[in-house]
Amino acid sequence: MRPEPHDGAAPRFSPLGALAQLNPFTWATGLFLRGVAELKIPDELARGPRTSDQVADAVGADRASMARFLRACVVHGAAQRETDGRYTLTDLGQLLRSDIPSLRGFVIAVNGPGMVRPWERLAEAVRTGRSATNDVWGVDIHEYYAQHPEEALAYAESCDVLTIEAAELLSRAYDFARFQRIVDVGGSRGVLLTRVLKETPQAGGVLFELPTVVELARTALAEHQLRERIELTAGDFLAEVPTGGDLYLVKNVISDLADADAATLLANCLKAAVPDSRLLLVDWVLQPAPSFVDATDIDCLVLTGGKARTPEEYEHLLSGAGYTNISDVPLPGFEAAPMAVIEATRP
């Protein structure tokens, strides 16, 4: 940029002044929050106001850098500085606690290298319409997680927490009593399946996942009271899914897939299911006006090559795979959620 001619008047544009308006570190807020979460600073501040030295000692960090970091955390909204100089937790900081259900795993996963490095190639993904993950890592995001267990755990935690509400509302509103064998396809660590099985004492469940995620589920469910009713099955849903189910749950899986793979997965479910069985699809739905889902949609583009869809697009995929009686499932309390809940019948 060429400097403006110096005519004695104050410059019209003040880059230093603009810094306060357009915080150029906005992109780094996620990384800040990941650091806050990894250091477990919110757990410490949740106990009450703390000096920076107290926080540093509690989390095992260098006192001088913690003093600097906490001041910056105020700028990024994760902590607040009281008049006596001690720090307290903001509402945003609460979301990063490890000792209560929170978005901590989500924040760590989406700001971890597995996702951030592909995001560095956002412009390329938009230019080409292709996911950047394979270019960066040489494998897809799920294989990356198979190779990076810590990030995989944070990712699984984020899937768990984002499933709690849908699982609760579905288990209350949907008639599960008619099913005997419920297969959760790509069911992560079983939050949805275990909630559903509580409502269906007659049914057995199958949690179908990639091999490394099955092992995460095995650990997470080891002490679960419903463990004996759950088969843990490893495989690739693009090859085949467990047979004989009369209900297939497919939650937040289709949006990770491009149309051809989504069609393959649904065809595999249809082939595996017993006649007159049901498939319940729960997934991100595009709203008429741009919303938070559009940001998720770009996440799908960059990371997996999938996409969020309109209800009509989900229905089109289901009917294309051979499903009939496709209808929205009303979930009282879930109306404002940006998720489609669609039931389909395998004829």
Ligand X SMILES: C[S@@+](CC[C@H](N)C(=O)[O-])C[C@H]1O[C@@H](n2cnc3c(N)ncnc32)[C@H](O)[C@@H]1O
Q: In the stretch 255-274, what mask flags binding to ligand X with x, by CB under 6 A? A: -x------------------
- Closest by alpha carbon to 344, among 260, 283, 295? 283
Q: 79 vs 253, which CB is nearer to ligand X?
A: 253
- 153: Cβ–Cβ under 8 A, 6 or more apart, which residues? 105, 216
Measured from the CB atom, the residue of 35 and 205 that comes closer to ligand X is: 205
Query: Which helix or strand (DSSP H or E) is residue 343 part of?
Result: strand 339-346
Q: Could you identify the residue written with the tokens 């979930």?
A: 331
- What span, in angstroms and rounded, lies between the C-alpha atoms of 335 and 274? 31
Return the range that interacts with ligand X (CB under 6 A); candidates 102-110, 116-124, 249-257, 337-345. 249-257
Region class of 100: left (phi > 0), else alpha (psi between -120 and 50), else beta: beta
Q: How far is the CB of 224 from ligand X (least distance, A)?
A: 16
Of 4-12, 98-106, 245-253, 288-296: span binding ligand X (CB under 6 A): 245-253
- Write down the H helix ranges in 177-275: 191-198, 211-221, 259-272
CA distances for 244 relative to 200, 204, 241, 275, angstroms: 17, 11, 10, 9
Residue 204 · residue 229 · CB < 8 Å? yes
Residue from 18, 74, 139, 238 binding ligand X (CB under 6 A): 238
Should residue 213 be labelled a site residue for ligand X when binding is judged by CB under 6 A? yes
Find the shortest distance in angstroms from Cβ 151 to ligand X: 13
Q: Which residues pair with 281 in a beta bridge?
A: 250, 342
Contact at 8 Å (CB) between 248 and 276?
no
Task: Please report where in the chains the tokens 């198979």 appear, as a residue.
Answer: 146
Q: Does 106 contact ligand X by CB under 6 A?
A: no
Stretch that binds ligand X, among 175-183, 221-229, 236-244, 314-322 (CB under 6 A): 236-244
Q: Least distance to ligand X from the beta carbon of 272, Å?
A: 13
Q: Between 49 and 137, name the residue whose CB sits nearer to ligand X.
A: 137
- CA atoms of 103 and 31, how far apart (whole Å): 14
Residue closest to ligand X when measured from CB atoms: 186
In whole angstroms, what is the distance from residue 333 CA to residue 197 CA? 21
* Residue list 128-187, contact with ligand X (CB under 6 A): 142, 159, 163, 186-187
Closer of 303 and 326 to ligand X (Cβ): 303
Assign 12 to helix, strand or coil.
Answer: coil
Note whether 33 binds ligand X by CB under 6 A.
no
Minimum Å gap between C-beta 3 and ligand X is 50
CB of 107 to ligand X, least distance (A): 16
Specify the pairing of strand 230-234 against strand 247-251: unpaired
* Residue in 70, 125, 253, 279 binding ligand X, rule: CB under 6 A: 253
Query: Is 194 near ligand X (CB under 6 A)?
Result: no
- What minimum distance in Å lies between the beta carbon of 238 and ligand X? 5
Which residues sit at the interface with ligand X, rule CB under 6 A?
142, 159, 163, 186-188, 209-210, 213, 236-238, 251-253, 256
